[in-house]
């Protein structure tokens, strides 16, 4: 929709969908609440699968949209090492778009080395808080700046389970040209390649660990996975046009 509507997606069980919820070039307020997303393999037609995708694909896409993802359960697993995202919010083509994103109080059960909880690309002002992460995967949260953009002002705080979540590189990944990210106390490993990030002081018994030895390996990993996800998003858009 492009008319500023309110869209609610509540109390559904999405089972083995290509992508369960797709929001493209929107100008609306979307709330996704109390759903269950079960995905146990990537879809062969696009070598990818996701619970929720928000994407910008046209030069005349509306400048603003809002997405709240609250109190859902994401159960993702994959044995083929193909990329899966519980939530992917990205500008893959087209201009900068202002997205108000809040991801709160969700449960992420991730079991696959190439599965990400929240994958954000070229989006400002994301808030990811009070979620529970279980299992293992690429990352709990990854924030990247691509397409010659800088992005800023993400807040990632008060998430649980990260002490026992096994990430491929780090629980929380902050890429180059990502500015002023706030990472609160949550027992997370953090790969910070951005600028001006704040790793907040922690309470006794709680800690964040800053990863400082990843360097170019992380940059290459970001680029490789982002290239694969972008390619799969392009395949998804073509699939949706044909069907």
Residue-wise pLDDT for 165-220, tens only, equals 999 889 999 999 999 999 998 999 999 999 999 988 544 455 566 554 444 445 55
Predicted local distance difference test score (pLDDT) of residue 206: 52
Residue-wise pLDDT for 131-174, tens only, equals 999 999 999 999 999 876 789 999 999 999 998 899 988 999 99
- The secondary structure of 126-140 as a DSSP string is EEEES-EEEEEESEE
| Torsion sign over Cα 224, 114, 129, 165 | negative
pTM: 0.91
For Cα atoms 164, 170, 174, give the angle at the middle one, nearest 5 degrees: 135
Residue-wise pLDDT for 85-130, tens only, equals 999 998 866 566 788 999 999 999 999 999 999 999 999 999 999 9
* H or E element in which residue 14 lies: strand 13-15
| Torsion sign over Cα 145, 87, 136, 104 | positive
Residue-wise pLDDT for 39-54, tens only, equals 998 888 899 999 999 9
Structure tokens at 144: 């990247």
Among 220, 229, 235, residue whose Cα is nearest residue 82: 229
Compute CA distances 211 → 142, 193, 199, 222, whole Å: 14, 10, 12, 15
* H or E element in which residue 202 lies: none
Where would I find the beta strands (DSSP E) of 113-165? 115-121, 126-129, 132-137, 139-144, 151-152, 155-157
């Amino acid at each position: 929709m492009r008319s500023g509507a309110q869209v609610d997606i509540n109390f559904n069980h999405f089972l083995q969908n290509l992508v369960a919820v797709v929001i493209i070039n929107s100008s609306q307020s979307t709330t996704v609440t109390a759903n269950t997303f079960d995905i146990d393999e990537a879809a062969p037609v696009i070598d990818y699968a996701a619970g929720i995708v928000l994407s910008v694909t046209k030069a005349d896409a509306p400048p603003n949209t809002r997405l709240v993802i609250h109190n859902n359960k994401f159960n993702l697993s994959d044995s083929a090492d193909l990329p899966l995202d519980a939530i992917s919010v990205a500008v893959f083509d087209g201009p900068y778009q202002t997205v108000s994103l809040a991801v709160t109080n969700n449960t992420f059960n991730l079991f696959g080395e190439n599965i990400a909880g929240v994958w954000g690309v070229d989006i400002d002002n994301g808030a990811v808080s009070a979620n529970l992460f279980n299992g293992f995967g690429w990352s709990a949260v990854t924030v990247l700046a691509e397409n010659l953009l800088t992005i800023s002002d993400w807040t990632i705080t008060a998430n649980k389970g990260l002490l026992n979540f096994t990430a491929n590189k780090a629980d929380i990944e902050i890429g180059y040209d990502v500015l002023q990210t706030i990472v609160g106390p949550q027992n997370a490993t953090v790969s910070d390649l951005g600028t001006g990030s704040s790793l907040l002081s922690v309470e006794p018994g709680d800690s964040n660990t800053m990863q400082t030895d990843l360097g170019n390996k992380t940059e290459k990993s970001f680029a490789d996975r982002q290239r694969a996800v972008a390619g799969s998003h392009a395949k998804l858009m073509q699939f949706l046009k044909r069907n």
